[in-house]
Structure 1
Amino acid sequence: MDLWLLSWVLSFLLVLSLCSSAELSSLRKGSFLSVEKPDDVLISPNGVFSAGFFSVGINAFCFAVWINESKDRTVVWMANRDEPVNGIGSKLSLLKTGELILTDGVRRTQWTTGTASHSGVDLLLRNNGNLVLVTSGSEKKDLWQSFDSPTNTLLPEQVLTKDRFLISSRSSTNYSSGYYRLYFDNDNVLRLLYNIPATTSVYWPDPWLMPWEAGRSTYNNSRVAVLNALGCFASSDDFKCFSADFGVKILRRLMLDPDGNLRIYSLVGTNKTWVISWQAISQPCKIHGICGGHSMCSYDHVKGRRCSCLPGYRFRNVADWTRGCEPDFNVNSELDTFDFKRLPHVESFGFDKGGFSKATLEECKKTCLNMSSCRGFAFKFGMSSGHQCYPKTRLFNGYISPSFSGDLYVKMPKSELNSVKEINIDTRLKCSGELVVLDRTYLPARVNWSLRFLLWFASSVAVFEITCVLLVRCFLFRTERASESEAVKQGYAYAATGFRRYTYDQLKKATRGFSEEIGRGGGGVVYKGVLPDNQIVAIKRLNDANQGEGEFLAEVGTIGRLNHMNLIEMWGYCAEGKHRLLVYEFMEHGSVADRLASNSLNWEKRFSIAVGTAKGLAYLHEECLEWVLHCDIKPQNILLDSDYQPKVADFGLSKLLNRGGTSMNGSSFSRIRGTRGYMAPEWVYNLPINSKVDVYSYGIVVLEMVTGKSPIGFHSLDGGGVTEHGRLVPWVREKVNGAATRESWMEETVDPLLADDYNVDRMECLVRVALKCVEEDKDSRPTMSQVVQMLLQNEGKFLHDPLGAVKKP
């Protein structure tokens, strides 16, 4: 009997070993690592490194490589740092095709190596921390390695090349992509870059130095940099540095930290802690963007780095210094109401609107006062050029520098000048510590059997029957049986995206076979539909059916995090086979284009539409968690509800990027986006693309609402005859600049359908704001938040009299 029990237990353990998802040393074809099993990790042969699922938040995991030797696990690489996966059902699988993929709980692919192999493939974690996908034949070949796609860390002997770069984390606890980048520039020089959607700027080596003045060489084409095992970090541009403990063979890493500084860390002591053995920048306040815009950085060895707002400004977010400060006054007041606050030895790098030598202080003040975009100026003394004046359109990268032989003058209202106190250096961030918990249903953990229960069970059931049952269960588990209920999949899909998932047949029935078309555009056709609960909806059938379900669901999930009263609300979606459909709220009054054509928009409605549209775009550009670039603002994409409140539509699948991610440029887009007549010049001339393309399109839409004319060609009466005009913008600008009074150019430009029933002040405000938005130079255009501010400032003058103090007779 004892021999029989022993053989049964051995068979049971054998079955359990077959059911194991992965071995500790490697992952083979057809195997996977599960997020639900903490022991599902790969360990390097020397035991220094591990690879597995790493918790980055509540119910949020990334697949990572970390160092075991340190006191706390130190992450050195992540596969999906910007797209964490669910804590239930997520897996890293090595497919039989040779592709390594990371899937979320709803089976959408979050990350993949894109590899393929007909022979055997193993995933190994080597002693140097390199995660490698290697063929298992007689001639082993590396198909993919983590060293080729670093995140924020370089390990010894890991090479940084011209096609790779380091991107900092957002913070010490937020592992998503941050604002700083280490990369090789086009002149072959290794640089540090501050990179946000609104601006980019190099801050190391010092940007005012030529490469050879900073000890760098541009005469190389290899563009490689590497940290060796002894603690020397060297680059092909002749840069070289040594750690303070150079020569000692200990564990080190080179890291681009969240504060933008590049540092070498060494693991020392019996308690295995990391110490800084070298850093690129000794003065932290010289790192660009560290305190955001219109702020000032200060530093001492006791309190460390601190940020404060410039006089007249307040923090945008007291829990995040990098958001910078915003004016606590109206920046668009009359120019003669401003004066300047002097800040001794404060330097602000960049955003100069020219420079003037041998200028007096009064001349410098006058120059800045006469420039509406000027926010202040730097005034300093040079031995060879005398006093120098640098008006600035933005007060950025400000810091106290006792060695700076000049002052910063901040432009602010005279009425607030005397009430401004000395700069208050903020002592700490105000963090709320609030966490958002995703709504998940967790399965209870399986209770471990005691040995007594196991023996009792073994004595009552034959070995053969139990072994067969376990083998069947193992097989079903590893092949992810297709009989999983649709209700569970729907639950996971809703939790991941925030929307209801419809089947194609449900939406086909709701639209009566897609019979009632209510709109169409470049992205697809929109149909009117009625859901089973009698709710009327708009259902958009997308043209591009080649997008994978994983990518589609990821973008739909991003849309779920957007919420604003002036953005169209999405209720659900369909991703079935090649079918991609989106379900939106139904807008009773259609689009602005429809209403303009039917002459059903009076002056008040047009002004309200301009304000609401600007608010929606300002949210997309500056307030939501993801940076959304619309790319196709036009009257057809601005919809009106029952109260004629505007809602921007078709914003969801335009261009979604994390705020700390790669900057947008022309190469980021597979094609030119937009509609003829509304497209910014950047598209035509292949210039870098940012949110100012939407600002331009918005300006065109406002001019079209004001004039009632098409932006790409129209006719008008001129001197008794009919004149053909090419484009709307130069025509309006010519009328405004050439008229003696505002009433005269208004009579020629305002839509005749308004029958002279409009407010003159509001009309002037709208036209001048629109003309600012359509400047050829994108840097001269305002942001959408500035547009909102300018419009609301004008709107506030008419709270008691909606028609305004002046009305056309």
Structure 2
Amino acid sequence: MHILIVFLLSFALCIPLPCSSAATDTLLQGSSLSVEKPTDTLVSANGAFSAGFFQVGDNAFCFSIWFTKSKRPTLVWIANRDQPVNGRASRFTLSKNGNLILSDAGVATIWTTKTFSSSEVHLMLKDNGNLVLRTSQGAVLWQSFDSPTDTLLSGQPLTEKASLIASRSTTNFSSGFYKLYFDNDNVLRLLFKGPNLSSVYWPPTWKLPVDEGRSTYNITKIAVLDPLGHFTSSDTFEFYPSDYGVKRYRRFTVDPDGNLRLYSFNEKTSMWEVSWQVIAEPCSAHGLCGANSMCTYDPFIGRTCYCLQGFKIKNPNDWTQGCEPEFTSPSCNSADFGFVHLPRMELFGYDLEVIRVTNLTQCENRCLELCDDCKGVQLKFNEVSTYNCYIKTILLNGRDSPNFDGDIYLKLPKSTMLSLKVPQKHVQLNCPANLSQRLDRTYQDPKKNAWLNFLLWFACGIGAFEITCVFFVWFFLFRSSKENDKVERQQLLSATGFQKFTYSELKKATSGFSDEVGRGAGGIVYKGTLDDDRVAAVKCLISETDQGEAEFLAEISTIGMLNHMNLIDMWGYCVEGKHRLLVYEYMEHGSLAENLHSNELDWNKRFNIAVGTAKGLAYLHEECLEWVLHCDVKPQNILLDSEFQPKVADFGLSKLLNRDERANSGFSRIRGTRGYMAPEWVYNLRITSKVDVYSYGIVVLEMITGKSPMGIHSLENKGGIDQRRLVTWVKEKLNGAPASESWIEEITDPNMQGNYDAAKVELLVKVALRCVEDDMDARPSMSQVVEMLQFPEYISFQ
């Protein structure tokens, strides 16, 4: 190995380096910018922007574009923010074939545009800060405006493929935790994506987009800022800054604290000034202080963090890591715990469940029943003279706000409560002076010594001979291994019914897992094209256990034997080390969730989807060789092919049981999605196939009404407007007008504009309500549901 390094080093020393470019706005073919020459920069004609190597730490440089007129250079774009290069021999080169290449120490390629042109090309830094690679005919091959980092400049579009990601801190320019992007519903959102958890915090998730003035009915997904300061987005979001109308340099940035701000440049002071920001309360952004902590704001000190009582900070230099308990939880004996009252505080999200109670005692008792799954509760008065009790399974996104109308009750061991201290809320953060990291790389200057040169060339010759020998040995071993692997894969193909892929094959098919088409708790799905030109969906599973290869192969072999027209067709799998991937057919129309609020699904399609989904689940429950519980039936897991025929997806790896295990189906944790989960999960009852029946009923009601199961829907009564969940709302509509068809019109999705079969709507509603009975024994099986939908004349709903 050491001889190979010497050989590569000597080879690099022998190659003549391309010439350097002068400080102009243009880089020509065959020219380079060197990290060792500070004058090797591109400067826009107006002098406002520069492009070159920017130092981001000790011996760490990024190829960047920065605004030069401010007192301190302001970075507006970075090519290699997460992989800085060395301060020696690194170069940015425009090759003769039209490709831009950033190399580390002249050897490793860190970043490239992967462009090619047979005609003459040049790279130019324009007056608006856009770095453009174009041909002599004017065709644009690449431009920095298409791949922003954390900043948009005037005239730069934000698109579906060009999200903004904040820097880690004001001194660490690597990718941080906050992202501005267009979501699947075409709405512009801010996302906190931490190392372990993520959540959307703007616009507020407890409001519908329409309530915030947003529109989901668009496909353009584009937003842009003009030089006067007007920001417009295709989801109808727009704003005007405080200095609107004046043509100034402006930048639209996602800052490291999760706030979205518009900065305007003041020519007199040479400073950036905030002219608009999206979040008025500094603690409203998620993840600022980490788990088990609170964010608070003081007008003089600013935003600070402090640990909840009974917890201590993990890392004083990084509050995003949060706090850890100072206690060890005792047994689940309710008598060992108490609750600490934290008034006017909020912990947003991560609710295990939300229940309606009449007093605090009911809320605390429910938390004690759940043992370690409940870390505390949040109590908030609602509009119907009761309280909403939020059971918190994780204490995250905490903020201490005098304007909040709810209280937190923190569950702690009584032994810990005896020694609690009042937390110091406004202690300034202990931030290190420099958050950048030094690259651990050293270099040795070549010595001009004849004897050393002779040894170097001699080592090169010996190294070349060894490499040649190793290559031939490797070639024959690789060829033999490849043949053996081919035989093994053919045997597995015949045994399991589908193909075994290598990780490198799937990485190539998905272009490096770049085209994400969906994600969920079980993994991330990417679109790819296999070697035989089949378009596939590749799901990278997120394993929560250390499942062995043999166990995984046993489960997917069962999935490979499942075959039904309403189940997704599995094509293969990959299991290499920690990688677990599934390959299945790509559905042109995506999921039911993506189409539910569009005009694509007329009544006939919705009814066919209900019937087809029921058939697929009935097959899983009763007809296949193994007893398969889906455990997460929801619109996101019902995919639609080119003819809008439904195919149930994400089945099989949830729970596989032999038929003689039906009476003893045990689950180690709650599975499913809030709103679609059967009561058995919450009350720790025996889990049977009836949990899927319940979820199916909720999905059918959602298809009929177009309303979310977790939404709250208005119902008129003598006392005014009452609020009900979806199931209760539909039941009361049905029972309130049994002799007329007006209730059908009231609950049917407005998107269908009255074009539906009233008799079939009534049938679907009654079947769905049978499926969502609280008593599992009162629910039908999925095969009975299929009979009800296909032969309603033989079924009595009395």
TM superposition score normalised by structure 2: 0.58
2:293 is matched with which residue? 295
2:126 is matched with which residue? 126
1:380 is matched with which residue? 380
Q: Which secondary structure state, in structure 2, belongs to the residue aligned with residue 62 of structure 1?
A: strand
Output the amino acid matched with 1:248.
V
Query: Structure 1: how far apart are the matches of 2:583 and 2:338?
Result: 36
Deviation for aligned residue 1:334: 2.4
2:441 is matched with which residue? 439
Query: Structure 2: how far apart are the matches of 1:166 and 1:676?
Result: 33
Output the amino acid matched with 1:107.
V
Query: Structure 2: how far apart are the matches of 1:125 and 1:31?
Result: 15
Judged with a 3 Å threshold, the aligned counterparts in structure 2 of structure 1 residues 222 and 392 are, in CA distance, closer, same or farther, namely same
The answer to whether residue 249 in structure 2 is matched with residue 353 in structure 1 is no
Judged with a 3 Å threshold, the aligned counterparts in structure 2 of structure 1 residues 143 and 402 are, in CA distance, closer, same or farther, namely same
1:286 is matched with which residue? 284
Query: Structure 1: how far apart are the matches of 2:576 and 2:20?
Result: 55
Detail structure 1 runs of 4+ shifted over 6 Å in the superposition.
483-488, 507-517, 545-548, 627-632, 675-688, 726-737
The answer to whether residue 575 in structure 2 is matched with residue 674 in structure 1 is yes
Q: Which secondary structure state, in structure 2, belongs to the residue aligned with residue 203 of structure 1?
A: strand
Judged with a 3 Å threshold, the aligned counterparts in structure 2 of structure 1 residues 445 and 85 are, in CA distance, closer, same or farther, namely farther
Judged with a 3 Å threshold, the aligned counterparts in structure 2 of structure 1 residues 503 and 83 are, in CA distance, closer, same or farther, namely farther
CA contact (8 A) 2:309 2:423 kept: yes
2:189 is matched with which residue? 191
1:241 is matched with which residue? 239
Output the amino acid matched with 1:429.
N
Query: Structure 2: how far apart are the matches of 1:182 and 1:305?
Result: 22
CA contact (8 A) 1:319 1:432 kept: no
Deviation for aligned residue 1:145: 0.6
1:322 is matched with which residue? 320
Query: Structure 2: how far apart are the matches of 1:360 and 1:680?
Result: 48
Please say which of residues 175-184 and 423-432 is displaced more in the overlay. 423-432
Query: Structure 2: how far apart are the matches of 1:401 and 1:205?
Result: 19
1:608-648 alpha-carbon deviations (Å, 9 max, x no partner): xxxxxxxxxxxxxxxxxxx997899555699xxxxxxxxxx
The answer to whether residue 325 in structure 2 is matched with residue 429 in structure 1 is no
CA contact (8 A) 2:32 2:94 kept: yes
Output the amino acid matched with 1:359.
T
1:84-121 alpha-carbon deviations (Å, 9 max, x no partner): 11222211111121111111115222111121111100
Please say which of residues 153-162 and 429-438 is displaced more in the overlay. 429-438
Query: Structure 1: how far apart are the matches of 2:62 and 2:175?
Result: 13
Please say which of residues 143-152 and 317-326 is displaced more in the overlay. 317-326
Judged with a 3 Å threshold, the aligned counterparts in structure 2 of structure 1 residues 361 and 508 are, in CA distance, closer, same or farther, namely farther
Query: Structure 2: how far apart are the matches of 1:33 and 1:130?
Result: 18
CA contact (8 A) 1:101 1:111 kept: yes
Deviation for aligned residue 1:311: 1.6
Higher relative contact order (CA 8 A, sep 6+): 1
Q: Which secondary structure state, in structure 2, belongs to the residue aligned with residue 33 of structure 1?
A: strand
The answer to whether residue 399 in structure 2 is matched with residue 399 in structure 1 is yes
The answer to whether residue 668 in structure 2 is matched with residue 772 in structure 1 is yes
Deviation for aligned residue 1:544: 5.0
Output the amino acid matched with 1:151.
T
Deviation for aligned residue 1:674: 3.0
Judged with a 3 Å threshold, the aligned counterparts in structure 2 of structure 1 residues 286 and 631 are, in CA distance, closer, same or farther, namely closer
2:198 is matched with which residue? 200
Q: Which secondary structure state, in structure 1, belongs to the residue aligned with residue 668 of structure 2?
A: helix
Deviation for aligned residue 1:282: 0.9
Q: Which secondary structure state, in structure 2, belongs to the residue aligned with residue 38 of structure 1?
A: coil
Deviation for aligned residue 1:394: 0.9
Match for 1:180 among 171, 178, 181? 178
1:374-411 alpha-carbon deviations (Å, 9 max, x no partner): 11110122242422211111111111122222210111
Q: After the TM superposition, which residues 71-86 of structure 1 pair with which residues of structure 2 at under 5 Å, given as runs?
A: 71-86=71-86
Query: Structure 2: how far apart are the matches of 1:180 and 1:677?
Result: 27
Query: Structure 1: how far apart are the matches of 2:375 and 2:326?
Result: 13
Q: After the TM superposition, which residues 216-227 of structure 1 pair with which residues of structure 2 at under 5 Å, given as runs?
A: 216-227=214-225
Deviation for aligned residue 1:217: 2.4
CA contact (8 A) 1:293 1:395 kept: yes
Judged with a 3 Å threshold, the aligned counterparts in structure 2 of structure 1 residues 737 and 301 are, in CA distance, closer, same or farther, namely farther
Judged with a 3 Å threshold, the aligned counterparts in structure 2 of structure 1 residues 316 and 116 are, in CA distance, closer, same or farther, namely same
Deviation for aligned residue 1:733: 13
CA contact (8 A) 2:20 2:34 kept: no
Q: After the TM superposition, which residues 92-103 of structure 1 pair with which residues of structure 2 at under 5 Å, given as runs?
A: 92-103=92-103
Output the amino acid matched with 1:353.
L
CA contact (8 A) 1:169 1:177 kept: yes
Judged with a 3 Å threshold, the aligned counterparts in structure 2 of structure 1 residues 290 and 45 are, in CA distance, closer, same or farther, namely same
Query: Structure 2: how far apart are the matches of 1:503 and 1:345?
Result: 70
1:11 is matched with which residue? none
Query: Structure 2: how far apart are the matches of 1:546 and 1:731?
Result: 30
Unaligned runs of 5+ in 1: 1-16, 447-482, 492-501, 526-541, 553-626, 639-669, 689-711, 714-725, 740-767, 780-809
Judged with a 3 Å threshold, the aligned counterparts in structure 2 of structure 1 residues 366 and 80 are, in CA distance, closer, same or farther, namely same
1:601 is matched with which residue? none
Output the amino acid matched with 2:360.
L
Query: Structure 1: how far apart are the matches of 2:443 and 2:171?
Result: 26
Output the amino acid matched with 1:101.
I
CA contact (8 A) 1:321 1:429 kept: no
Query: Structure 2: how far apart are the matches of 1:39 and 1:238?
Result: 45
Deviation for aligned residue 1:259: 0.5
1:260 is matched with which residue? 258
Query: Structure 1: how far apart are the matches of 2:478 and 2:43?
Result: 55
Output the amino acid matched with 1:356.
I
Judged with a 3 Å threshold, the aligned counterparts in structure 2 of structure 1 residues 630 and 516 are, in CA distance, closer, same or farther, namely farther
Task: Give the alignment's Cα RMSD to 1 decimal.
Answer: 4.7
**What percentage of residue pairs aligned between the two structures are identical?**
43
Judged with a 3 Å threshold, the aligned counterparts in structure 2 of structure 1 residues 547 and 88 are, in CA distance, closer, same or farther, namely farther
1:136-167 alpha-carbon deviations (Å, 9 max, x no partner): 13xx1111110011100000111112222111
CA contact (8 A) 2:572 2:583 kept: no
Q: Which secondary structure state, in structure 2, belongs to the residue aligned with residue 286 of structure 1?
A: coil
Output the amino acid matched with 2:121.
V
CA contact (8 A) 1:508 1:514 kept: no
Judged with a 3 Å threshold, the aligned counterparts in structure 2 of structure 1 residues 381 and 157 are, in CA distance, closer, same or farther, namely same
Judged with a 3 Å threshold, the aligned counterparts in structure 2 of structure 1 residues 734 and 271 are, in CA distance, closer, same or farther, namely farther
Judged with a 3 Å threshold, the aligned counterparts in structure 2 of structure 1 residues 444 and 304 are, in CA distance, closer, same or farther, namely farther
Q: Which secondary structure state, in structure 1, belongs to the residue aligned with residue 75 of structure 2?
A: strand
Judged with a 3 Å threshold, the aligned counterparts in structure 2 of structure 1 residues 323 and 683 are, in CA distance, closer, same or farther, namely farther
Query: Structure 2: how far apart are the matches of 1:36 and 1:546?
Result: 39
Query: Structure 2: how far apart are the matches of 1:406 and 1:71?
Result: 45
Output the amino acid matched with 2:122.
D
Q: Which secondary structure state, in structure 2, belongs to the residue aligned with residue 274 of structure 1?
A: strand
1:46-79 alpha-carbon deviations (Å, 9 max, x no partner): 1111100111111111111001111111110011
Judged with a 3 Å threshold, the aligned counterparts in structure 2 of structure 1 residues 253 and 29 are, in CA distance, closer, same or farther, namely same
The answer to whether residue 227 in structure 2 is matched with residue 229 in structure 1 is yes
Q: Which secondary structure state, in structure 1, belongs to the residue aligned with residue 304 of structure 2?
A: strand
Query: Structure 1: how far apart are the matches of 2:447 and 2:271?
Result: 35
Query: Structure 1: how far apart are the matches of 2:579 and 2:505?
Result: 26
CA contact (8 A) 2:541 2:580 kept: no
Q: Which secondary structure state, in structure 2, belongs to the residue aligned with residue 440 of structure 1?
A: coil
Q: Which secondary structure state, in structure 2, belongs to the residue aligned with residue 276 of structure 1?
A: strand
1:343 is matched with which residue? 342
Judged with a 3 Å threshold, the aligned counterparts in structure 2 of structure 1 residues 302 and 521 are, in CA distance, closer, same or farther, namely farther
Deviation for aligned residue 1:350: 0.6
TM superposition score normalised by structure 1: 0.57
Deviation for aligned residue 1:318: 1.5
Q: Which secondary structure state, in structure 2, belongs to the residue aligned with residue 674 of structure 1?
A: strand
Equivalenced residues, count = 526
1:170 is matched with which residue? 168
Please say which of residues 194-203 and 341-350 is displaced more in the overlay. 194-203
Query: Structure 2: how far apart are the matches of 1:678 and 1:148?
Result: 32
1:158 is matched with which residue? 156
1:603 is matched with which residue? none
Query: Structure 1: how far apart are the matches of 2:447 and 2:211?
Result: 63
